[in-house]
Amino acid sequence: MKFCSHCGARLDQRIPSGDDRPRFVCDRCQTIHYQNPKIVVGTIPEWDDQLLLCRRAIEPRSGMWTLPAGYLENRETMMDGARRETREEAGAELTTLAPFALFDLPFISQVYMMFRGPLASTDYHPGQESLEVRLFAQADIPWNDLAFAVVRETLECYFSDRNNGQFKLHTGTIVPPPGMPRQPHCQ
Ligand SMILES: [Zn+2]
């Protein structure tokens, strides 16, 4: 951030008095521009024993497989956002949603809220950000071609629960393995 979005003046980066970390500060209008984590909402779309994955059409990790997910919009509930992202990326509708995983990703200042839920039908199609959308049985999940560590973690928790016969809410902190991209990855 270089310029103040209120008055256009050049910003200074420093620790304001009474604070404990650097902020972007405008010396003309005195606004402090706080930057805080973004919330990403997504789904695990189920159809019988299969899950719907999307192959990314955009960087980073273009060509890799992921679950439908993206940034929560202002004035939107997490569940509505998760449904919207599923519609946008996979052209799919879900019936009921259940909270499944809440992950911190402090290395990119994001929080992920993932829901699971059944597809309303097999009517789905790739949206603009997807090359391909398809159902995978557990044995066919492309583990070596998953886009992000958080997707791998979510799927591992999912199949672990399903194989144990009981779904629960998972929480945790994602640390990317070496080689995984460290930049924000959701559009
Ligand atoms: Zn200003």
pLDDT for the residue numbered 176: 76
pLDDT of residue 76 exceeding 60:
yes
Pick the CATH number of 1-35 from 2.20.70.10, 3.30.43.10, 1.10.357.10, 1.10.490.10: 2.20.70.10
Q: Which fold has domain 38-173?
A: Nucleoside Triphosphate Pyrophosphohydrolase (3.90.79)
Q: How far is the CA of 5 from the centre of ligand 1 (A)?
A: 7
Residue 30 has pLDDT above 70, yes or no: yes
CA–CA gap between residue 119 and residue 104 (Å, rounded): 27
Residue 121 predicted with pLDDT over 90: yes
Listed residues: CB within 5 A of ion ligand 1: 4, 6-7, 9, 26, 28-29, 31
pLDDT in tens, 149-170: 999 999 999 999 999 999 999 9
Mean pLDDT of the chain: 94
Q: Which residues contact 166 (CB under 8 A, 6 or more apart)?
A: none
Query: Which amino acid is located at 23 in the chain?
Result: R
Q: Domain ranges in the chain?
A: 1-35, 38-173
DSSP per-residue string spanning 3-63: B-TTT-PBPEEE--TT-SS-EEE-TTT--EE---PEEEEEEEEEETTEEEEEEE-SSSSTT
pTM of the model: 0.90
CB atoms within 10 A of CB 162: 15
> If you measure from the C-alpha of residue 118 to the centroid of ligand 1, how many angstroms do you get, rounded to a whole number?
48
